Amino acid sequence: MTDDTQPQPQPYYPPRPPYDPAQPITTEPGTTIWPSGGHVPPPVAPAAPVGAAPAAPTPHRRARRGVGLMAAVAIAAAAIGGGTATLVQQWTADGNTSASSPVNGTNVSASSKGTVAGVAQAVSPSIVEISASSTAGGSTGSGVIITGDGEIVTNNHVISGASRITVQTSDGKTYDARVVGTDPDKDLALIKLEGASGLKAATLGDSSRVRVGDEVVAIGSPEGLTGTVTSGIVSALDRDVTVAKDDGGQGQDQGRQYDPRQGWPFEFGGQQFNGDTGSSKTTYKAIQTDASLNPGNSGGALINMNGEIIGINSAMYSPSSSSGSSAGSVGLGFAIPVNTLKADLDDLRSGGAG
């Protein structure tokens, strides 16, 4: 028989702590922070009323902090200054601007480089028209400016026997000129303009590099037409051309100075062309070209496609018509190689051989 009066055992309760336990801190609806830094239980969304649209999800705290960090970086980048923005623009525009960049170091557009138009634009200011006169008559030819203060190279036969020489530049200005030196054996002469400065000098090239078939441009004043441009190719090299040394040839025989506009007399291949060369004559090696040369081109420039002078135009073949007057160019022109001129330039400056 059991004694029901015995006391029953009671459950154990731990003693009350001497402080209140930490409680969770609620900062905003749906977000709870525990002081222990432990696990944050997911928020429990309140039940939505029946028929109501679901509430938009609350953005995570870390995501909002990331957006704020990006904004701060953007503000810092903007504070660096406009130079960075300019650099970025240059990086992104590289592929679009390179094709339209200007060509430095030239006054000729890139599309004209190596063309007849480009050569004419670059060299025409260095080519002049020469008028020589004397009591016996007059002559007209061309010349090439080689120094900014007015040294000009031409053919000896253009200025031979002249008592007065005038020169017209490509801009229409007219100067008096004096003879510095002549070399009748090479049909070369050097004259100097009076009171000239700031002229555009031509660039002398290297005629030893010229090859048959090279494209060339001729600039001169045929028939007094200043600044006429023609073009062609080099037809042959080292042609033996014989010309009159001075006006002691045909011009003296007729009692007047010879006029190159009527076709300068010369010999080629044992035959005489455009008149009698007379008893006083000289022979030199010439560049043959089919660029159109006419009376008045004498002393002008034969130019390569880089804009360099490779020869001084000096003679042309022009068949005579039945009336006795000279016809135009038929594509047989001759020029003194520029290396011949360069080798003779010091002598011409000291008075020449003539």
Catalytic residue among 139, 142, 187, 231: 187
Residues ≥6 apart with Cβ < 8 Å to 244:
157, 250, 251, 258, 264, 265, 266, 277, 278, 280, 281
Rounded to a whole number, what is the largest CA-CA distance in the chain?
Answer: 179
CB 204, CB 337: distance < 8 Å: no
Spell out where 77-163 has E strands.
127-134, 137-145, 151-154
Catalytic residue among 157, 221, 246, 344: 157
State yes or no: is 60 an active-site residue. Answer: no
What is the number of other CB atoms lying within 10 angstroms of the CB of residue 26?
Answer: 11
Catalytic residue among 126, 134, 142, 298: 298
State yes or no: is 157 an active-site residue. Answer: yes
State yes or no: is 176 an active-site residue. Answer: no
Instruction: Report residue 346 as tokens.
Output: 């010091």
CB 45, CB 58: distance < 8 Å: no
Cα-flanking dihedrals φ and ψ of residue 30, to 5°? 90, 0
> What DSSP string runs through 260-299?
GGG---EEETTEEESS---SSEEEEEEEEE-S---TT-TT
Residues ≥6 apart with Cβ < 8 Å to 60:
none
List active site positions: 157, 187, 298
